[in-house]
């Protein structure tokens, strides 16, 4: 790793309110997260815990309204993005921070050839001339493994398979050499073989472009294979952050431990995936105290009233739980 901290999200609070008198759902309740330059940082947690809201806030695409950023900062390369004008924000997006999504089809323009979409990015953000942009687009298509790159550039998105679409979107995302790439469940819609190919591609691109990557997934197994560090989210907060190695050797938060235990060890066919009893609370009704207490085997009275702050238990290993180290029940 080199270059220090690329992105530091501190105390980010985001709420959604559809109508003026309607209920408020607090999707993020003080998220802390940092990505070092050229690291792959995994962001994990069950569905609804706030991974996508966090990433859309970082890239500046939260729909506001209904979303509202109530508190916090998003410091990217030393600047708080929340203080920038819409115009400045737009310049950062695509150029310095880029994003790939779970469903590329929704974000590719269906009426524009793939090549034209990439060259448009290059012309807009990097002010390249047509010929230079076309040459670079072909180079990028080759880099992301779009075989027969020049031919693929002439196709429309709907002519591509799921894996090819994802590669095309990755080519667009990296076209301007961003410092940070956010990948939100980039492989969830793909079959296992394609998943591995796209993961390998992401790892390779990190090497080639020396960019930081925020890799979002609800699948700890995937995160284990790619990430350097990991942040685990629960109910709109980061509950544990550590190196990927320490996560698997010595997770501290009961939620993380249960997530790890729910990964089937040998993936034997027919074995049932253990799931954590209970469910992620609705953002309109977050339990008092530690939001995880209704599902936690270690919970005591204190957990029902007192929200645990994040504490560093070892260098680079933080967790927010009152009872880190308490023996686990059988
Ligand atoms: N546009 C919206 N309007 C209202 N609530 C929203 C909106 N987008 C997200 N939320 C709420 O914010 C919370 C976090 O959602 P988010 O999409 O970030 O979860 P996630 O961790 O990305 O889940 P998944 O793994 O399913 O993608 C949820 O409670 C969700 O209902
Ligand atoms: Mg999501």
- Separation of CA 129 and ligand 2 centre (Å): 36
Query: Which residues have a beta carbon within 5 Å of ligand 2, which is an ion?
Result: 51-52
| Cis upstream peptide for 144 (omega within 30°) | no
Give kind and range of the element (H or E) at residue 329: none
H or E stretch covering 233: strand 229-234
CA-nearest residue, atom 25 of ligand 1: 47
> What is the share, in percent, of the chain residues with pLDDT greater than 90?
65
For β-strands 212-217 and 180-184, DSSP reports them as parallel
Kindly tell me if the per-residue pLDDT of 326 is higher than 50: yes
Please tell me which residue, 276 or 70, carries the higher pLDDT value.
70
pLDDT at 28: 97
Ligand 1, atom 4, residue with closest C-alpha: 16
- Average pLDDT of the segment spanning 250-261: 92
Rounded-to-integer distance, Cα 237 and Cα 28, Å: 6
Domains of the chain, CATH where assigned? 5-96+178-319 (3.40.50.300), 97-177 (no CATH)
Looking at residue 245, its pLDDT comes to 92
Stretch 151-160: mean pLDDT: 91
pLDDT band at 273 (very low <50, low <70, confident <90, very high): low
Which residue spans within 77-218 are E strands per DSSP?
79-80, 97-100, 180-184, 212-217
Tokens, residue 314: 């070892």
Q: Does residue 283 have its Cβ closer than 6 Å to ligand 1?
A: yes
The residue whose two tokens read 């270690």 is: 298
Q: Which ligand is nearest to the Cα of residue 219, counting in written order? A: 1
Mean pLDDT of all residues in the chain?
90
Lowest pLDDT segment from 75-89, 187-201, 263-277:
263-277
**How far is residue 177's CA from residue 38's CA, in Å, rounded to a whole number?**
12
- Gyration radius (Cα) of the chain, Å: 21
Q: Which whole number is the average pLDDT over 12-40?
A: 93
- Which residues make Cβ contacts (< 8 Å) with residue 102, sequence separation at least 6? 184, 185, 186, 188, 189
Q: Is the CB of 66 under 6 A from ligand 1?
A: yes
> Nearest ligand to the C-alpha of residue 19?
1
Q: What is the mean pLDDT of residues 257-262?
A: 89
DSSP 176: T
Residue closest via CA to ligand 1's atom 9 equals 53
Q: Which of 23, 48, 103, 215 to mutate to test the pocket of ligand 1 (most atoms within 8 A of CB)?
A: 48
pLDDT of residue 264: 67
From the CA of 58, the nearest ligand is 1
Helix axes 114-126, 86-95, angle to 10 degrees: 120
Highest average pLDDT, of 100-109, 227-236, 270-279, comes from 227-236
Check whether 270 has a pLDDT greater than 70: no
Atom of ligand 1 nearest to the CA of 50: 18
pLDDT computed for residue 276 by the predictor: 83
Q: Which of 9, 13, 16 to mutate for ligand 1's pocket (most ligand atoms within 8 Å of CB)?
A: 16
Q: Are residues 174 and 181 in contact, defined by beta-carbon separation less than 8 angstroms? A: yes
Confidence at 1, pLDDT banded by 50, 70, 90:
very low
Q: Largest alpha-carbon pair distance within the chain? A: 67
Q: Which of 88-102, 218-232, 255-269 shows the lowest mean pLDDT across its residues?
A: 255-269
Report which of residues 105 and 138 the model is more confident about.
Answer: 138
How much is the average pLDDT of 23-36?
A: 94
Q: What is the mean pLDDT of residues 63-86?
A: 95
Local confidence band at 234 (pLDDT 50, 70, 90 cut-offs): very high
- Closest CA to ligand 1's atom 3: 16
230 lines ligand 1 (CB under 6 A): no
231 lines ligand 1 (CB under 6 A): no
């Amino acid at each position: 790793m080199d270059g220090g901290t690329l992105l530091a999200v501190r105390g980010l609070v985001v709420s959604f309110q559809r109508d003026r008198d309607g209920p408020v759902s607090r999707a993020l309740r003080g998220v802390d997260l940092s990505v070092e330059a050229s690291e792959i940082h995994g962001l994990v947690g069950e569905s609804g815990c706030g991974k996508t809201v966090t990433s859309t806030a970082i890239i500046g695409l939260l729909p506001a309204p209904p979303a509202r950023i109530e508190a916090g900062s998003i410091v990217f390369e030393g600047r708080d993005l929340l203080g920038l004008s819409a115009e400045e924000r737009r310049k950062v997006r695509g150029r310095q921070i880029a994003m790939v999504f779970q469903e590329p089809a929704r974000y590719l323009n269906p009426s524009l050839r793939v090549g034209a979409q990439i060259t448009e990015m290059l012309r807009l953000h990097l002010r390249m001339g047509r010929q230079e942009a076309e040459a670079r687009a072909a180079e990028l298509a080759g880099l992301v493994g779009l075989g027969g790159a020049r031919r693929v550039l002439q196709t429309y998105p709907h002519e591509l398979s799921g894996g090819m679409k994802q590669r095309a979107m990755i080519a667009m995302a990296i076209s301007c050499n961003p410092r940070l790439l956010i990948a939100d469940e980039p492989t969830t819609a793909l079959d296992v073989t394609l998943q591995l190919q796209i993961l390998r591609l992401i790892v390779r691109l990190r090497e080639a472009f020396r960019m930081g990557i925020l890799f979002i997934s609800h699948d700890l197994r995937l995160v284990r294979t790619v990430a350097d560090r990991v942040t685990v989210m629960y109910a709109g907060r980061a509950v544990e952050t550590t190196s990927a190695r320490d996560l698997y050797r010595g997770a501290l938060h009961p939620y993380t431990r249960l997530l790890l235990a729910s990964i089937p060890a040998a993936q034997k066919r027919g074995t049932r995936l253990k799931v954590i009893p209970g469910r992620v609370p609705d953002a309109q009704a977050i339990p008092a105290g530690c939001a995880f207490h209704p599902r936690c085997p270690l919970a005591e009275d204190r957990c029902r009233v007192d929200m645990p702050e994040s504490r560093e238990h070892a260098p680079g290993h933080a967790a927010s739980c009152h009872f880190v180290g308490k023996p686990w029940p059988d």
